[in-house]
Amino acid sequence: MDGNVWSPPRGSWASDEATRKKMLGNRSRDTKPEMLVRSLVHRRGLRYRVSQRPIANVRRTADLVFRRAKVAVNVDGCFWHGCEQHYKEPKTNTEYWRNKIDGNRRRDRETDELLTAAGWLVLRFWEHEDPAEVAETIEHSVRIARSPVPMGPA
């Protein structure tokens, strides 16, 4: 490698050094939309675990986990999870990114299925959704999940 010319590592998704640095700086947790939702949910008096595995033996985490209520919440980024409304396919390394985002979508569906089968309520929101509305939906869902199930006739 020439000292003046940057070349991506073999098999890399990075088209140039600036892109590589920018993408490596992306957070997988504690994103701004997630932090906003967490703050609003906390203000509503709800307590939760952050970036935890709802099911111990399944290597998948949720952004907010309400263990007693069995509610798992994810605030998905529009780019990384392929939002129909906002995702724009990159012009470079198109095939890599198409496969990456499709894989993320498949994993999200599989995660939802695994958690649902284990009795969890899975809530997914997009980063562009109104945080106040998201927090309200989460609170409503958790409170319903925590409420005792009415008994049938004696």
Confidence of residue 27 (pLDDT cuts 50, 70, 90): low
Phi and psi torsions of 76, nearest 5° = -85, 135
pLDDT digits (tens, 9 = 90+) for 62-100: 999 999 999 999 999 999 999 999 999 999 889 999 999
Token output for 107: 């994993």
- pTM of structure: 0.80
CATH number where 101 lies:
3.40.960.10
82 phi-psi bin (left φ>0, alpha ψ -120 to 50, beta other): left
Instruction: Evaluate whether residue 17 is within a structural domain.
Output: no
φ/ψ (deg, to 5) at 71: -120, 125
Residue 137: which H helix or E strand, with range? helix 131-146
Predicted pLDDT at 30: 82
- 36 occurs within a structural domain: yes
Backbone angles phi, psi at 24, to 5 degrees: -65, -25
Sequence-distant (≥ 6) Cβ neighbours of residue 48 within 8 angstroms: 38, 41, 64, 65, 66, 73
Residue 112 lies in a domain: yes
